[in-house]
Amino acid sequence: MGKIDKYLLWIMNNSSNESRKATIIMKGQFPELKRIKGVIEIETLTTTIKCTHWWLKDEENNIIDPTANHYKILNYYEEKFIKCYTCGKFCLGDHHFCSENCENLYLSKLSISLLS
């Protein structure tokens, strides 16, 4: 069994689509893991979207994501590295947009691509 196989095995047996809860439960089993809050970029049929997500990291910075198999994940961004979805400027805290204007722009682009 490889080094991260014990984590993958646990994930397979404890599948959940609720990333916040799943990372809390998994950290209870593996206290050495670190819980990370951030954003993932997901591929859908028509577009890519970003959404809030929780995952874990081991001591070697491998991403251990108990809910990864529910999405087609392209990228992980930790909270402190979140850039505005629209213009790319760094955002404060866990905000995903630098301004309301950028948020509205992103949402209007998203609804167009989901409807087309």
Q: Which residues bind Zn ion (CB under 5 A)?
A: 84, 86-87, 98, 102
Distances (CA, A) of 54 to 76, 98, 100: 10, 21, 24
* E strand spans, 1-116: 34-43, 48-57, 63-64, 73-78
Shortest Cβ distance from residue 90 to Zn ion (Å)?
10
Nearer to Zn ion, 6 or 80 (CB): 80
Tell the smallest beta-carbon distance from residue 53 to Zn ion (Å): 20
Least distance (Å) from Zn ion to the CB of residue 97? 6
